[in-house]
Amino acid sequence: MSCGLAVATALLLTNPDVALAASLDPAAVPADLTGLVTEPLFVDIVSRAEHLKGVTEGWAASGAVHQPNFLTGEDWLSFRTEALALSDLDMQGHLILKSRESQGDMTCILRGLSEDMPRRIADMEAADTRESRDLALSELVHLFDDNIAVITAPGQTFPE
């Protein structure tokens, strides 16, 4: 069994929405990518990204990220867990689109978002100045915004 197949199998077993989305007949998948927002996995990705974007924007506005022990507090630890779960869902979305033989940008973008999320979390945790923490937080906001936009953007199509 190839590594990719093993990973895909493991991911399918962890989220029932993935199995549902993967079971869709590729011929029934709308050509317009905005159709993805009707599939449970992609609805979940957008919902989680919107929530996490709101959290990060709230922290940016309030300056909460500059409080002592912020990165060891319950808010950050919960956020970290949720963000890494979103990263896993992005990879599941990538694998589903790849299984549908979609070679378009969406497949690559979801993989990139999945791979970038742990890096952005690590950047936040490594930030040792006010400026570097603000930059890391800003990058997280943009990552969540990209996560939402890539799925909901109109006018994109699957390649023929």
Which tens digit of pLDDT belongs to each residue from 73-127?
999 999 999 999 999 999 999 999 888 876 678 889 999 999 999 999 999 999 9
pLDDT at 35: 65
Residue 149 has which token pair?
């936009």
Q: Is residue 70 part of a domain?
A: yes
pLDDT at 126: 97
Q: Is residue 41 part of a domain?
A: yes
Q: Is residue 15 part of a domain?
A: yes
Segments forming the whole domain that contains residue 12: 3-22+32-152
Q: Is residue 105 part of a domain?
A: yes
Residue 87 has which token pair?
């990263």
pLDDT at 103: 62
Q: Is residue 59 part of a domain?
A: yes
Give the whole-angstrom CA distance, residue 42 versus residue 92.
10
Q: How many domains does the chain have?
A: 1
Lowest mean pLDDT among 65-69, 82-86, 143-147, 153-157: 153-157
Query: For the chain, where are the alpha helices, taking DSSP H only?
Result: 3-14, 16-22, 40-62, 74-99, 105-126, 130-152
